[in-house]
Amino acid sequence: MTVKIATKFTLLVAGLAALCVVPLFVSDPTIIHILIYTFFFAYFAAAWNIVGSYAGQPSLGHAIFFGIGGYTSSILFINYGISPWIGMFLGAILAALAALALGFPTFRVRGPFFAFITLAFTLLMSLLFVYFHDYTGGATGLPVPLKGDAPHLFQFNSKLPYYYTILAFFCVIVYVTYRLEKSKFGYYLLAIREDEDAAASVGVHVFKYKLMAAALSGFFTAFLGTFYTQYTRFIDPNEAFGLWRTFQPMLISVLGGPGLWGPLVGAAILTPINESIIMFFGGRYATVGMMLYGLVVMLIMLFMPSGIVGVLKRVYTHFRS
């Protein structure tokens, strides 16, 4: 067992070292951009997994937490000069509180009703941020002022620092997910996912642990909103709360499969394809990416319900035996 753990640790360190070194030998900013967005969506799906996969609550409201994180840090930076690094944590706290507020009414229902209600709240948030245009910029959005190469303000002149930042974010969410899997909290969530009534019958406080999972998931999702805003230097209600943003983490998670590495596998497959379509054919073909996402997810649900990672695990077990 010790040798097995040591082997896994060695492979993990080697993989992380390779990810840190590879961009140094890549001069094409397009490739760096695709790598950034790959880890961006892998992080998004991993944060969604905490409540969507582990707790078994198919949330369509994570765009709310994403938008809260992006808008909070941007408004504080634009109006009060507060560094986005600080605003990022304030936005995460607000997102966790919003997750608790959203969870109180929605966790009373199950299955598709829960998904529909969280989607309705997402659309409501989009309308609210358009209405309060004096603070949010309305439908036109908020441009983030460019201060040059200012690391203390989360702004860089090249894409490379953004790559290492999102890679660090992804490592954090992977560690959080790993610790969650090995904790009693994680086991409680898995029990809730399999059968809420059975979990409650053996003493698991179902409502409380679902709320905790939602708060934790919302907290980490908000970080991504700040990263996106600083990377693109712009945010508007459509980018923050749009349907595309709502379905992205769930689709990537379904493709890759639940667990620790499913989000990365799903993002590594879908993101390069989607970003390449947009880059080479223009934004008017962005809907092609959405159609591709939908087609892939339908095929996965029909033929590989456990995702690509589940298939790879079965293949590995077969050849090992």
Confidence label for 283 from pLDDT (cuts 50, 70 and 90):
low
Asked whether residue 224 is assigned to any structural domain, the reply reads yes
pLDDT tens for 99-142 read: 999 998 888 777 677 888 898 999 999 999 999 888 888 888 99
Angle between helices 243-256 and 262-281 (to 10 degrees): 130
- Asked if residue 313 is part of any domain, the answer here is yes
3-class secondary structure for the chain?
Answer: CHHHHHHHHHHHHHHHHHHHHHHHHCCCHHHHHHHHHHHHHHHHHHHHHHHHHHCCCCCCCHHHHHHHHHHHHHHHHHHHCCCHHHHHHHHHHHHHHHHHHHHHHHCCCCCHHHHHHHHHHHHHHHHHHHHCHHHHCHHHCEECCCCCCEHHHCECCCHHHHHHHHHHHHHHHHHHHHHHHCCHHHHHHHHHHHCHHHHHHCCCCHHHHHHHHHHHHHHHHHHHHHHHHHHHCEECHHHHHCHHHHHHHHHHHHHHCCCCCHHHHHHHHHHHHHHHHHHHHCHHHHHHHHHHHHHHHHHHHHHCCCHHHHHHHHHHHHHHC
Nearest to 48 by CA among 207, 247, 227, 190: 247
Which among 250, 287, 255 has a CA at the least distance from the CA of 269?
255
Q: Among 77, 218, 80, which Cα is nearest to 147's?
A: 77
| Residue 302 in domain | yes
Q: What is the CATH number of the domain that holds 170?
A: 1.10.3470
Those residues with Cβ within 8 angstroms of residue 113's Cβ, 6 or more apart along the chain or in another chain: none
Residue type, 289: G
Report yes or no on 259 lying in a domain.
Answer: yes
Higher-scoring residue by pLDDT: 284, 83: 83
Q: Which domain holds residue 296?
A: 28-141+151-320
Look at residue 187 and tell me if it is in a domain: yes
Cβ(253)–Cβ(53) below 8 Å? yes
Maximum mean pLDDT: which of 186-195, 257-266, 310-319: 186-195
In a domain, 266, yes or no: yes
C-alpha span between 269 and 307 (Å, rounded): 12
Query: Is residue 272 one of the residues assigned to a domain?
Result: yes
Confidence of residue 288 (pLDDT cuts 50, 70, 90): low
In a domain, 16, yes or no: no
- Number of structural domains (the chain) is 1
What is the rounded average pLDDT of the residues 76-95? 96
Q: What is the pLDDT of residues 18-57, one digit of tens each?
A: 888 888 888 788 889 999 999 999 999 999 999 998 998 8
